[in-house]
Chains A and B, each alone.
Chain A
Amino acid sequence: MSEFLTFAQLGFRHIVDIEAMDHILFLVALAAIYRFRDARNALWVVTAFTVGHSITLALAVTGRLNLPSALIEFLIPVTIVVTGVENIVVSDRTRAPWGGRYRPLFAGVFGLVHGAGFANYLKALFVERIAVPLFGFNVGIEVGQLVVLVAAAFVLAALDRAIATFRLSNALRVRVVAVSAIVVAVGSAWAVERTPW
């Protein structure tokens, strides 16, 4: 197998593993407000998240950025909580600032934090020949994220169908609040657990 494919597989396995639940939960929080018909908006947000974490990953692994891992591990659940709270608070996206189009920026900034989380482990392992392993690992992470998002989209659609049986006037809002409340609860517990002070 080529070096690129090996590290792509490593990145993919890392993101779809149950141990990566903090990243998965963040992706679920980002996806919670979208339906299949909003795929284009969701794609912008995920692309911004990808760009963000690719930047910190590259900077940290190449030694240009040194981040305290305890702080990063704390900030990761904070990004989950903030995303979940934003989902709950903004009930009408058309009336949100910038028509709700700030979300890719938001995802990009939080992506910087998540990238730093990966970087602390990779920095230790990638000692020489960094470029190909890093690029491969990042591509694997991206593919894994897309798989997680597609799976999340199907789960959310199934949830919508379940909610629809109750004939509620705003089923999407019920789904967003329910999913986000769970995300906020889990993220808060992790944040408390990982508090570095």
Chain B
Amino acid sequence: MVIRALLAVLALNAHPLHTTITELTEDRSRGMVRATIRVFADDFGKARGERPELAYVASRFTFTDRAGRSLPLHSCGTRSTGELLWICVEAASAEGLAPLRVYNVMLNDLFDDQVNVVQGTVGGARRSLLFIKGDRPKPLA
């Protein structure tokens, strides 16, 4: 047992931070809410595999309205800086972010220790949510 534990420890390599950071914004004039998800490109590539980018994101990230319906997501572009991808998705929400629930389990299918941070400003106050494997949708307000 001790030898098995030692071998398991030896198998560990440099410890990456399995985290994404998402910034939420709202555009009341267009009736849209936007999520910009910062994710390490190599991890994202492994997680989505052959699936289209938006299909993978929509399966792991949702905005849910008061009635519990997931809002359809639309891509608003992706850019890369260094090792990071900045994935932008939008959804229609006339009331902005306040009434919505957010769910973000990006890359939890790849890493058990994945932690996703979602942040936004709602009603003038800065809010933060933290998602780990098994979490449910959470209100931002």
Interface residues of A (CB under 8 A from B): 1-3, 5-7, 9-10, 13-14, 17-23, 25, 73, 76, 117-118, 121-122, 124-127, 182, 185-186, 189-190, 193-194
Interface residues of B (CB under 8 A from A): 6, 9-10, 12-19, 21, 38, 40, 81-84, 113, 115, 117, 119, 126-130, 132
Given contacts A21-B9, A22-B12, contact A124 B84 (CB under 8 A): yes
Residues of B close to A194: CB separation below 8 A:
13-14
A6/B128 in contact, CB under 8 A:
yes
A6/B117 in contact, CB under 8 A:
yes
Main secondary structure of the interface of A (DSSP, over half): helix
The distance from the CB of A163 to the nearest CB of chain B, in whole angstroms, is: 15
Residues of B close to A127: CB separation below 8 A:
38, 81
B17/A1 in contact, CB under 8 A:
no
CA distance A25 to B18 in the complex (A): 20
B128: contacting residue among A3, A14, A126, A190, CB under 8 A = A3
B15/A19 in contact, CB under 8 A:
yes
Residues of A close to B126: CB separation below 8 A:
2-3
CA distance A117 to B13 in the complex (A): 12
B19/A125 in contact, CB under 8 A:
yes
A18/B40 in contact, CB under 8 A:
no
A1: contacting residue among B16, B18, B81, B129, CB under 8 A = B129
The distance from the CB of A191 to the nearest CB of chain B, in whole angstroms, is: 12
A1/B130 in contact, CB under 8 A:
yes
B15/A23 in contact, CB under 8 A:
yes
B113/A13 in contact, CB under 8 A:
yes
Residues of A close to B117: CB separation below 8 A:
6-7, 10
B10/A186 in contact, CB under 8 A:
yes
Q: Could you list 14 examples of A-B contacts with CB < 8 Å?
A: A1-B129, A1-B130, A3-B119, A3-B126, A10-B130, A13-B115, A21-B12, A23-B15, A121-B19, A124-B84, A125-B19, A186-B6, A190-B13, A193-B13
CA distance A124 to B83 in the complex (A): 7
Residues of B close to A9: CB separation below 8 A:
115, 130
CA distance A23 to B14 in the complex (A): 10
A19/B128 in contact, CB under 8 A:
no
User: Which of A7, A22, A125, A127 is packed against the most chain B CB atoms within 10 Å?
Assistant: A125
B16/A121 in contact, CB under 8 A:
yes
